Amino acid sequence: MAETSSEPEEQGAVAPQGPELQEGAWRNVWLLGGTSFFTDFSSEMSYPIIPVLVQSVLGPAAGFAGLVVGAIEGMAESLASILKLFSGALSDWIGRRKEPTIVGYSTSLVGKFIIFLTGVLPTALLVGVGRIVDRFGKGVRTAPRDALIADGIRPEYRGRAFGIQRTLDHVGAVLGSAACVLILLVLQIPDTELHRIFLYAIFPGVVGVILLFFAKEIRKPTKVEPWAGEAEAPSLYQRWMSLDRRLRVFLVIVFFFSLANFSNLLMLLKLYSLEYPTYQVVLHYITFSAIAAMLAYPAGRFSDLFGRKGVVVVAYLFYGVVYLGLAFAVRGPWTWVLFGAYGVHKGLSEGVEKALVSDLAPAHARATSLGLYAMLVGIGLFPASVLAGLLYWLTPSLPFVVAGVMSAAAGLALWFLLDMKEGGSKPQAAS
């Protein structure tokens, strides 16, 4: 496969004259961004309170909350990560993006309802089942949704397209977290009744699912059989080696970085350990989400103009600074600054990484490549979160030190090992 930043045009296709390959591409970006807005509004109404909910249902065993939270999040995210590859491959195979996306978002709503049932059966097991079902839905929807965004958008516009989606996602997170704070302060919900918030969170999620029905399949992925005529199907290794070399290098570094990227819930647990009240913990999360929302679109547009590699490197280095800072943080202004810097990392990395993968992936296997990327981002979360939870139980600062050093190393590896000179990291217009 030629190592070029722009995807090859399909045989016989008419060269696009604008930022879309087909009418409706940007409409999809905004619709899927709206779905992300309402879904994250739903999720962030409830997500920041999970550590407190776990502590309340554990009762006398609340001292193990860090380990339990790490195990729950690790299992849930790892399952989601594996599903992202298979759902992406399925989307490419059936030539459909919309239906798997609808199924995935709908399943996540079921997971929230299961956690709500802890009011009837207060057990950490039910929280775990609910999170696994929720993340199952995320695993099903992520790759088809991202492919539906990338389909029809020319390479030199993909950074801003994903930037729009990530911006709306984070704005939803800000408002959802603000709604959580408002509910906590106005209704004065005690820790033993926090499950009620999961019921309230279902309603905005339903709105997000409804928006998906108005999305449009832009084009059916080309049915390319690159190994047609060969005596036997290629091995996984041969398929891997057929990918653009730069994409392979990037995915390996992404996986290494994922081993340092443990659950955000442990960051929130760190704040609880500093004796912040619940509403202030959620306000920290709002700070993070607000900064990410402000930077997601500018970062995507910057990467369209000047290249994606440098943006991702800076994002990884910010992550390292945040975690090293949290290792030694005390209650006060410093924790707010660190959560703001974490927002910088998210704003710079998420959309730009997806745009980079979309640039380097073959058009007929875009959802599969995005699914592989998403799988590698999250598959390390189980060992990372479980190990971090164990280290947190031993010494609360230790997991943050280890993660900070590893993420900085990933940033340096990306800078020195990902050679974008042949074809350039700046996306080129399709011709």
Give the CB-side neighbour count of residue 360, counting CA atoms within 13 A.
Answer: 31
- Residue 332, SS3? coil
**Look-up of token digits 């039910």:** 126
Q: What is the pLDDT of residue 59?
A: 61
Query: In CATH, what number is assigned to the domain containing residue 312?
Result: 1.20.1250.20
261, 380 contact by CB (below 8 A): yes
Q: What is the pLDDT of residue 22?
A: 56
Count of the separate structural domains present in the chain: 1
Q: 256 in a domain, yes or no?
A: yes
> Which of 299, 46, 258 has the alpha carbon at shortest distance from 167?
299
- Residue 6, SS3? coil
- Residue 153, SS3? strand
Rounded CA separation 248/356 (Å): 12
Q: What is the pLDDT of residue 258?
A: 84
Q: What is the pLDDT of residue 3?
A: 37
Q: 19 in a domain, yes or no?
A: no
> Does the pTM of the predicted model rise above 0.85?
no
Residue 358: domain span:
25-219+240-417
79, 132 contact by CB (below 8 A): yes
Q: 422 in a domain, yes or no?
A: no
Packing angle between helix 25-46 and helix 124-150, nearest 10 degrees?
170
Packing angle between helix 65-94 and helix 50-58, nearest 10 degrees?
130
Q: 426 in a domain, yes or no?
A: no
Query: In Å, how far are 127, 208, 255 from 366, measured between CA atoms?
Result: 34, 24, 19
- Residue 20, SS3? strand
Q: What is the DSSP letter of 8?
A: P
Positive or negative, the Cα torsion across 344, 173, 354, 239?
A: positive
Q: 225 in a domain, yes or no?
A: no
Q: 429 in a domain, yes or no?
A: no
Q: What is the pLDDT of residue 67?
A: 66
Q: 196 in a domain, yes or no?
A: yes
Q: 125 in a domain, yes or no?
A: yes
- Each residue's pLDDT expressed in tens, for the chain with a length of 431 residues: 333 344 433 333 333 344 444 557 888 899 999 999 999 999 888 877 787 777 777 665 555 566 677 677 767 777 777 787 788 778 877 878 889 899 999 999 998 998 888 777 777 778 888 888 988 898 888 888 988 888 878 888 888 888 899 899 989 988 998 898 888 888 887 777 788 888 999 999 999 999 999 988 876 545 444 444 454 555 666 777 777 888 889 999 988 888 887 767 778 878 888 888 878 888 888 888 899 889 999 999 999 888 889 999 999 998 998 999 988 888 888 999 999 999 999 899 888 998 888 888 877 777 778 888 878 877 776 777 777 777 877 787 888 888 889 888 999 999 998 877 654 444 544 33
Query: In Å, how far are 102, 261, 343 from 373, measured between CA atoms?
Result: 21, 14, 21
Q: What is the pLDDT of residue 23?
A: 59
Q: What DSSP letter does each residue of 339-402 carry, written as one string?
A: HHHHHHHHHHHHHHHHHHHHHHS-GGGHHHHHHHHHHHHHHTHHHHHHHHHHHHHH-TTHHHHH
